Amino acid sequence: MNSSPSHLKNAQQINIDQLQEMPVFGGLSEQALDNLLLHTADIRIRAGDSFFRAGQDGQGMFVLLEGRAVASLEDECSSFVLREFLRGDSFGEAAGIDLQPRGYSVHAREDCVALAVGADAFSALQSFDAEQFTLFYMNIAREFSRRLRVCEERAFRYWRERSEIAVKS
């Protein structure tokens, strides 16, 4: 990851109202977000560079503040884009939930600025306000669930198309 972390409040002013409009931060109080921001970093990734690669240990999640990025599955021969991330989207949550290595890679399509939210930020928010922590975690689970539903639908369409091709052969 070619990045330059810095404390977000020092690197750029973030509008709390804008954060609250992002799905992962929806409903969080200004005080909870201020506390969370004390334990996060502003990560800058250049176009073409990676936030992380599949197989790496997960060290937290990211919330995209600027730019575009894509999640992809790759092997020696090919790369399959799973989804594009835009401003306000979060990614990398699964490694923090299931404690497994990253399941996909995320690459910047444009220069990106993201909020890196590590385990220390989660712990700090939980200590600061357990109710706000629970809401934050529920927001993450909701976003994760939405993406899972899209994957399930894609898998169903793929297998249905494959079945139709096999029947016609």
Please write the tens of the pLDDT for every residue from 98-153: 878 998 999 999 999 999 999 899 999 999 999 999 999 999 999 989 988 988 89
Please report which helix (H) or strand (E) contains residue 74, including its range: strand 69-74
Instruction: Give the start-to-end residue ranges of the domains of the chain.
Output: 8-168
Return all residues near 85 (Cβ < 8 A) that are at least 6 apart: 64, 68, 69, 70, 71, 91, 106
Q: Which CATH superfamily is domain 8-168 in?
A: Jelly Rolls (2.60.120.10)
Q: What's the predicted TM-score (pTM) here?
A: 0.83
Please write the tens of the pLDDT for every residue from 11-49: 345 789 899 999 999 999 999 999 999 999 999 999 999
Flag whether pLDDT at 10 surpasses 50: no
